[in-house]
Chains A and B, each alone.
Chain A
């Protein structure tokens, strides 16, 4: 008897299917039924949850806050990450590998620990407030816990490591000789960045920005901890709807909206990149 090789691969497909697809399916499917209270759901399909989402300003506002904080976090992560990634990518010494390893390790330390570190730093008598008050920029402690700034900082904190790694890999693919060619033929460092480095890294940076945005849209821990129960992003609200309100169907609806929003934004971005590419504004 001939053993078909494909059968050996089948179990992992099934397991991955259950873990990724089925678990979401169950939840998303629930979104089309009415919550009956105490975790029970109705038995006839209805759009009532979706109608509620798009007519209730609280939910719409949550969606808007989620997109806004994620977009801001992505932009600031890229702006902060680019110089660091550039420096590491262009370093000639062994320090570059060490720094990169440091960033990887820091990235994979559980976000709970990192966010608590952040909370301590930003607390009323924490280091940052002491410094800010010491030089007189603020006259009373400034807090980032429980406001949108805090959520943006938390999301950046979550994504910065990935951002630097992504940008590092993009910059690495741009030969150093292109920078030198720009300089020797008359471009200052600034002009070199504007005319050569940024245009060439744009496609990679856009893809990186999307990944960071996607991570932020789905981020729960940092948003929950820094939101302090006062700022709701969709993932935070989903958790709350499931755990506190026990409304599985509504939670499913929120999850579906989040999923579709992320998908649409990504499709739009890909479409725009294609257009730019076709117009030769960026290279493949």
Chain B
């Protein structure tokens, strides 16, 4: 197990630049997730670490070793593939022992290690079966066991839960995290699913168009998104387009939907177009005359509602392109479409998104 460092890594495919000068440091034992939409460069980054492709520029360090030019089989990496890539003509025990056999381990040691790993993934009975004879979730765990059999310096996972149904996916998130923590193995995980990223990761790297948009803990990224892209990609958010008109004490004034709202911003913000992000769960229904003084308040009209079991989403038209979404308890939700409403939120809970 080692830390991984990518320094000024550029990857071009012909004229297309998949990665622009990427700098990334993955700490020893850390579970790091690369999160982003397809084409953002997350899989390219993973494949660069694996050694399936070479960077156009830059260096990749595994521990203290520069592996930029090292072939995949000499990097001592484990990898779980999106389609698991279990060898269909080998038994599950042979699959798990594959890397050990390639590294010339004695037969008895391989058998012992395979047994250990089958216990780790809670499938002690399946060693003699073939991959086609076990379920998708079991194949997934076997792929993980194969990847960690020869203790790898780093474990790479490329959307490993994509093919599973929702319930199983949730179980497997817990399971993968357990295995990772039990082995204390440095892990790079690629996904486009933000829930998955937030459930499992020590740290999340949000990527877009070949660049890192933001990195940090799940809380950090959800609560303080730095860019419009991150705010929009991670969780649901209302983006209120407006204009910075000035300051009011500690607050910046933003004009949106014909109303002045206040935003805390320590570094100030230039006068001009901007965007304020507010999460649906931060918005509340308020009465316009009794809202607390440290609240921003907007007037609107209820145009729709959807019931999601534990909460109800209200769609409120406030005069912007899209209606604002707010989440409230089902018993508090008004039922009449078309009524006028006031919505408000604490000033400190809105985020100014500059780009």
Contacts and interface: CB of A to CB of B under 8 A. Distances in A.
A181 B160 CA distance: 13
B307 interface: no
Contact of B98 (A177, A182, A282): A182
A181 B152 CA distance: 14
Nearest to A187: B102
A43 interface: no
Contact of A180 (B78, B85, B99, B102): B85
Interface in B86-102: 86-89, 98-99, 102
Contact of A184 (B50, B82, B87, B88): B50
Nearest to B158: A177
B85 A186 contact: no
Interface in A187-212: 187-188, 191, 195-196, 199-200
A185 interface: yes
A283 interface: yes
A177 B83 contact: yes
B302 to A, nearest CB: 50
Contacts of B246: none
B99 A186 contact: yes
Nearest to B94: A195
Query: Which of A177, A186, A191 counts the most B-chain CB atoms under 10 A from its CB?
Result: A186
Interface residues of B, number: 28
A282 B89 CA distance: 7
Contacts of A265: none
A180 B78 CA distance: 11
Main secondary structure of the interface of A (DSSP, over half): helix
B236 interface: no
B204 interface: no
A185 B81 contact: no
B103 A186 contact: yes
A136 interface: no
B98 A200 contact: no
B149 to A, nearest CB: 8
Contacts of B82: 177
Given A180-B72, A200-B89, A283-B89, A185 B78 contact: yes
B87 A187 contact: no
A184 B77 contact: yes
Given A175-B83, A177-B82, A185 B88 contact: no
A46 interface: no
Contact of B73 (A186, A196, A282): A186
Interface string B59-85: 000000000000111010111011101
A178 B72 contact: no
A29 interface: no
A261 interface: no
Nearest to B99: A185
B189 interface: no
A208 B19 CA distance: 42
A184 to B, nearest CB: 5
B147 interface: yes
B203 interface: no
B110 to A, nearest CB: 12
A181 B90 CA distance: 13
Interface string A94-136: 0000000000000000000000000000000000000000000
17 contacts: A177-B82, A178-B85, A180-B81, A183-B71, A183-B73, A184-B52, A184-B75, A184-B77, A184-B156, A186-B150, A187-B102, A188-B71, A188-B73, A195-B87, A200-B89, A280-B89, A283-B88
Interface of B: 50-52, 71-73, 75, 77-79, 81-83, 85-89, 98-99, 102-103, 130, 146-147, 149-150, 156
Given A177-B81, A178-B85, 19 more contacts: A175-B83, A175-B85, A177-B83, A180-B50, A180-B81, A181-B79, A181-B81, A182-B98, A183-B72, A183-B73, A184-B79, A185-B78, A185-B102, A185-B146, A185-B150, A186-B73, A187-B102, A191-B102, A196-B87
- Can you list the 4 inter-chain pairs with the closest CB atoms, starting with the nearest? A186-B102, A185-B99, A181-B85, A177-B85
